[in-house]
């Protein structure tokens, strides 16, 4: 039985001086990481954290955040990584739902934490700092880095089993409340053991840590690297704005593995951030999270013939990824779709009809996932869990997860992804329920009715979020003012990029808002304004 923290312990025992985590000038060896994690775990126990408790992490991506994750696991608790770029009301919902025994913070998140705690003044939850002591109007840290350092660094025997939760990752919920996906140690262990075997990850690898820590993709970077005893190179969030900086990081850190969401690939390609034969150390290029446009993939493959290219597919509920497809060659044409491939070991992709019967090859059905990756369900939400994780029709003792994706199985057995069956979209790798955005808009007094739709723009962001609204009687509010108001409750990646103000939204015969006609409005606008969709091409000239 393996727990995630065991990977670090093993490396620390045999190769304590090997580098585990790098960011900028900062680096931690496996020995340092192991000791720092054990010290933190001891203090967490002393502060009252018990097995199974949750600890929220208000920490930006940095080596200290990795220590925090490890320390929480070693204390037999589960961590909840907080997106510190999110507005306080949304973070408050996540803190309230996770019901933490403790909050760990560092200075960059202190203001957000204070704002979050202000929203529920009665909450009694201790806050610990990983570095210098912190305080705000609503909290004072109960301990700081000095107290962590004074703990003994000896290994703490684990009480957890691989069946226990390692982390809870919150994703967009269609009614406006984020939902927490519970991930067990064994969910991650089975994936990273498959993946490091499949990719041949080795001690000399230098692996990118690109996705934010509240994305489940980051757990592949972290625990896959530690399993292999390789180096994890964390990519600072700010570098994402500058495609040339991302390229420079791959080049100068001599990364051997680059794993990111497709919008990053598109961004770097459109800006011509790298040349033919660039990144000579790079062995593997991997993407996940949404469809990578074939022309962009061809751009990468043509310039980096020395690297392999693998598409991973899978929702958070099935842990990191459930299927894979490694490109056998550069696609022959820009219109050739890239399949999501075949299931990883221990997992299954099922394409079923509405009666949960398999559809014949070539026909479109709903995509379900079965096997070792399945989360036990949504945190403290039996209803949502029961709706999404249903009994396996072939074996009612087992479960299958309804992804909400549409797919078909090809004659050759490979699976193709064909879009969504509901109003969830992917934009720049973020999974967004359009209903969450509508809920925020409908909460405004100035809005009488609204509809938020996703439109494929051909641009690099994937799906553009488009909003049509009708102001309340007498109100005259322009999109910038509406945008500013919902930015107080929604993270920036959920803010609509395109807007239209109408006297009344179009309705269909049933009196419901006609979303198709609204979508057509934005599609027509994108076609009429070529500058919109080709902005990235032109800017990269």
Interface residue list for another protein (CB under 8 A): 85, 238, 240-245, 263, 267, 270-273, 428, 459-461, 479-481, 483-484, 487, 491-493, 497, 499, 531-532, 535-536, 538-541
For another protein, the closer of residues 243 and 314 by Cβ is: 243
Q: Is 371 left (phi over 0), alpha (psi -120 to 50) or beta?
A: left
Q: What is the smallest separation between the CB atom of 149 and another protein, expressed in angstroms? A: 30
Q: What is the smallest separation between the CB atom of 487 and another protein, expressed in angstroms? A: 8
Q: Give the closest residue to 311 by CA, choosing from 155, 301, 374, 29.
A: 301
* Alpha carbon distances (Å) from 534 to 74, 271, 313, 526: 49, 12, 28, 10
Q: What is the smallest separation between the CB atom of 329 and another protein, expressed in angstroms? A: 29
For another protein, the closer of residues 194 and 460 by Cβ is: 460
The beta strand positions in 472-522, using DSSP E, are 498-501
Q: What are phi and psi of 207, to 5 degrees?
A: -105, 135
Q: What is the smallest separation between the CB atom of 426 and another protein, expressed in angstroms? A: 13
SS3 of 305, please? coil
For another protein, the closer of residues 105 and 246 by Cβ is: 246
Structure tokens at 53: 């408790």
For another protein, the closer of residues 331 and 493 by Cβ is: 493
Q: What is the smallest separation between the CB atom of 325 and another protein, expressed in angstroms? A: 26
The beta strand positions in 189-318, using DSSP E, are 206-209, 231-234, 257-260, 284-287, 308-313
- The DSSP string of 412-470 is TS-EEEEEESSSEEEETTEEEEHHHHHHHHHTSTTEEEEEEEEEE-SSTTBEEEEEEEE
Give burial (CB, 10 Å; 0-12/13-18/19+) of 38: buried
SS (H, E, C) 190-201: HHHHHHHHHHCC
Q: What are phi and psi of 397, to 5 degrees?
A: -75, -20
Q: What is the smallest separation between the CB atom of 271 and another protein, expressed in angstroms? A: 5
For another protein, the closer of residues 241 and 509 by Cβ is: 241
Q: What is the smallest separation between the CB atom of 517 and another protein, expressed in angstroms? A: 22
For another protein, the closer of residues 273 and 304 by Cβ is: 273
For another protein, the closer of residues 43 and 217 by Cβ is: 217
For another protein, the closer of residues 384 and 532 by Cβ is: 532
Measured CA to CA, the distance from residue 431 to residue 444 in angstroms comes to 24
Q: Cα dihedral angle (296, 299, 304, 309), rounded to 10 degrees?
A: 30
For another protein, the closer of residues 12 and 494 by Cβ is: 494
Q: What is the smallest separation between the CB atom of 158 and another protein, expressed in angstroms? A: 39
For another protein, the closer of residues 60 and 178 by Cβ is: 60
Query: Cα–chain-centroid distance for residue 107?
Result: 23
DSSP state of 292: P
Q: What is the smallest separation between the CB atom of 251 and another protein, expressed in angstroms? A: 14
Q: What is the smallest separation between the CB atom of 364 and another protein, expressed in angstroms? A: 30
For another protein, the closer of residues 476 and 531 by Cβ is: 531
For another protein, the closer of residues 278 and 381 by Cβ is: 278
Structure tokens at 465: 């979020």
Q: Give the closest residue to 111 by CA, choosing from 93, 90, 85, 131.
A: 85
| Cross-strand bridge partners of residue 135 | 140
Q: What is the smallest separation between the CB atom of 270 and another protein, expressed in angstroms? A: 8
Q: What is the smallest separation between the CB atom of 457 and another protein, expressed in angstroms? A: 10
Measured CA to CA, the distance from residue 212 to residue 87 in angstroms comes to 16
Sheet order of strands, 308-313 included: 26-29, 19-23, 231-234, 206-209, 257-260, 284-287, 308-313, 323-326, 342-343
Asked if 5 and 74 count as a contact pair (C-beta separation under 8 A), the reply is yes
Residue 173 CB neighbour total at 10 angstroms = 18
Structure tokens at 155: 């290994």
Q: What is the smallest separation between the CB atom of 498 and another protein, expressed in angstroms? A: 9
| Cross-strand bridge partners of residue 443 | none
For another protein, the closer of residues 117 and 273 by Cβ is: 273
């Amino acid at each position: 039985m393996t727990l995630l923290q065991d990977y670090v312990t093993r490396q620390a025992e045999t190769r304590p001086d090997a580098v585990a985590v790098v960011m900028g000038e900062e680096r931690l060896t496996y020995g340092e990481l192991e000791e720092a994690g054990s010290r933190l775990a001891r203090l967490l126990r002393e502060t009252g954290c018990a097995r199974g408790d949750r600890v929220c992490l208000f920490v930006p991506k940095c080596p200290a955040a990795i220590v925090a994750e490890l320390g929480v696991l070693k204390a037999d608790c589960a961590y909840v990584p907080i997106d510190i770029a999110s507005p306080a009301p949304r973070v408050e919902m996540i803190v309230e739902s996770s019901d933490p025994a403790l909050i760990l913070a560092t200075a960059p998140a202190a203001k957000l934490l204070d704002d979050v705690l202000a929203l529920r003044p009665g909450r009694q939850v201790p806050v610990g700092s990983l570095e210098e002591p912190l305080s705000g109007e609503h909290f004072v840290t109960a301990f700081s880095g000095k107290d962590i350092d004074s703990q003994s660094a000896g290994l703490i025997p684990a009480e957890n089993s691989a069946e226990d939760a390692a982390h809870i990752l919150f994703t967009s919920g269609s009614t406006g409340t984020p939902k927490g996906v519970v991930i067990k140690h064994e969910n991650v262990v089975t994936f990273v053991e498959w993946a490091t075997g499949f990719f041949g990850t080795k001690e000399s690898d230098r692996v990118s840590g690109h996705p934010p820590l509240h994305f489940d993709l980051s757990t592949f970077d972290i625990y896959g690297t530690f399993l292999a005893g390789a180096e994890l190179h964390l990519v600072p969030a700010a570098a994402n704005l500058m495609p040339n900086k991302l390229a420079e990081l791959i080049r100068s850190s001599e990364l051997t593995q680059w794993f990111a969401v497709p919008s990053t690939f598109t961004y770097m390609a459109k800006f011509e951030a790298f040349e033919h034969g660039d990144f000579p150390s790079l062995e593997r290029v991997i993407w996940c999270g949404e469809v990578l446009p074939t022309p962009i993939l061809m751009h990468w493959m043509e310039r980096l013939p020395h690297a392999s290219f693998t598409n991973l597919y899978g929702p958070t509920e099935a842990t990191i990824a459930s299927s894979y497809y490694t490109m056998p060659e550069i696609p022959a044409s820009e219109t050739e779709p890239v399949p999501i491939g075949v299931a990883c070991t221990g997992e299954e992709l099922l394409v079923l009809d509405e009666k949960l019967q398999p559809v014949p090859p070539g026909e479109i059905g709903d995509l379900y996932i079965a096997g070792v990756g399945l989360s036990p369900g949504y945190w403290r939400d039996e209803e949502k869990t029961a709706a999404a994780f249903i009994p396996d029709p072939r074996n009612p003792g087992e479960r299958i997860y309804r992804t909400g994706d549409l797919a078909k199985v090809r004659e050759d057995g490979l699976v193709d992804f064909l879009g969504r069956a509901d109003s969830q979209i992917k934009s720049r790798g973020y999974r967004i329920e359009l209903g969450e955005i509508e809920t925020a808009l409908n909460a405004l007094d100035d809005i009488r009715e609204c509809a938020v739709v996703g439109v494929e723009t051909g641009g690099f962001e994937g799906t553009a979020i488009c909003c049509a609204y009708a102001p309340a009687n007498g109100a005259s509010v322009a999109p910038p003012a509406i945008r500013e108001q919902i930015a107080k409750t929604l993270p920036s990646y959920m803010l609509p990029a395109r807007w239209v103000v109408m006297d009344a939204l179009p309705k269909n015969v049933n009196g419901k808002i006609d979303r198709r006609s609204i979508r057509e409005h934005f599609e027509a606008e994108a076609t009429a304004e070529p500058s919109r969709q080709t902005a990235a091409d032109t800017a990269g000239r």
